[in-house]
Amino acid sequence: MHRQEISQFLETVNKTIEGVGLSKIQFELDGDILLMEEPNIWDDQDKATKISKNIKLLEDKIAAINFLIKQVSDVKAALDLGDEDLIQTNVILLEKLHNEFQEKNFLDEKYDLNDCLLTIHAGAGGVDAEDFAAMLCAMYQSFSKTQGYSFQTVHIDVGEEGGLKTVTLEIKGDYAYGLLKEEVGVHRLVRISPFNAGKTRETSFASVEVLPRNVDDSSKIEIKEEDLKWDYSTSSGNGGQSVNTTYSAVRLTHLPTNTHVSCQNERSQLQNKAMALKYLKDKLAVIELERQRQAIKELKGEINSVEWGSQIRHYVLHPYKLVKDVRSGWETSNVLDVLEQGNIIDIIWSVKRTRQQNK
């Protein structure tokens, strides 16, 4: 960078720091620390754990801001010394820190910090689509490993030839929902079908749904028993012999909204029913939040035509190799790195940057 570009960049960084509101973050941190000092705080372990986790996140954010402030000072000091090598070294580090800080700031919406439920449904394409759903499942499992997240299958419906008709993963870790919510939508695969004797090129589709877990507002959701429809089946997954021979798997439908959830990873039908009800409350809380957001947009005249079925990403294996995100334009020819290694974090950040720019 030239001196003028560096000066402009420093102004940008300072605006970022000012926009965060360090005093506001410190005030929230002080309040949480006081709450943790209350004698009966651990009577409600879920609440205490959440506050404790928030304290760590706020402390990390303050440390990151202070690190940015220090690095700005180091760049200015290098400029005063006139040492070009030192200037460039500090500017490069500041760019890296600034980018990382901005990315973390994309994760400040409600529920972003939460764990999530990620559901994949095979769409049009028959056996190929079911195989594609299994490929996406493996991709998200690999992504979870690279992020240090834990995951378990809570529902699975296996296809007739080894693919997946539908699968739901519970993914646990900081910002699991905040990151993976960018995967919601329809994914499209183009390849030579391994299931077609004619070796023709086939197009397959799968949809992804992501919901936050442990939603605070879910406790306020009132559900009438007459509004629920329970369906039971044998489990398709692991969990012991009894799980696979009894009707322990549960599918719960909320009739007024036609909202469905499924659970089969617990050992008994009773346990699966309890978990399914929790999942349903989380889902209904998010639906209500989205309804409120749409109402606010409507009042502001900001309603856009958005369809749940819109394609968000293409995976092309033939006649060329390409992964392209429709929303951000991000693309790569390294398809296996995305599908097999689960390296989708750069795609996720590109979508968040694009959305921020379009606000």
Q: Judge if 132 and 56 occupy the same domain.
A: no
- Please return the burial class of 282, using the count of CB atoms within 10 Å of its CB with bins 0-12, 13-18 and 19+: buried
Tell me, what CATH number does 338's domain have? 3.30.70.1660
Residues 325 and 295 grouped into a single domain: yes
- For residue 42, the domain's CATH number is 1.20.58.410
**DSSP character for 106?**
T
Q: 184 and 296 in one domain?
A: yes
pLDDT tens for 245-302 read: 467 788 889 888 888 888 887 778 888 888 888 888 888 887 877 776 676 555 444 4
What does the pLDDT read at residue 308?
41
Q: Which domain holds residue 87?
A: 3-105
Do 207 and 287 lie in one domain? The reply is yes
| 98 and 129 part of one domain | no
211 and 294 co-located in one domain = yes
Domain count, the chain: 2
pLDDT tens sequence across 316-352:
999 999 999 999 999 999 999 999 999 999 999 999 9
Residues 208 and 266 in one domain: yes
Within 8 A by CB and 6+ apart from 214, the residues are: 46, 114, 115, 282
Q: Where are the alpha helices (DSSP H) in 264-342?
A: 269-300, 335-339
pTM of the model: 0.73
79 and 114, same domain (yes or no):
no
- Shared domain check, 189 and 147: yes
Distance (Å, whole) CA 160 – CA 288: 37
Give residue 249's pLDDT.
85
Structure confidence by residue, pLDDT tens digits, 136-148: 999 999 999 999 9
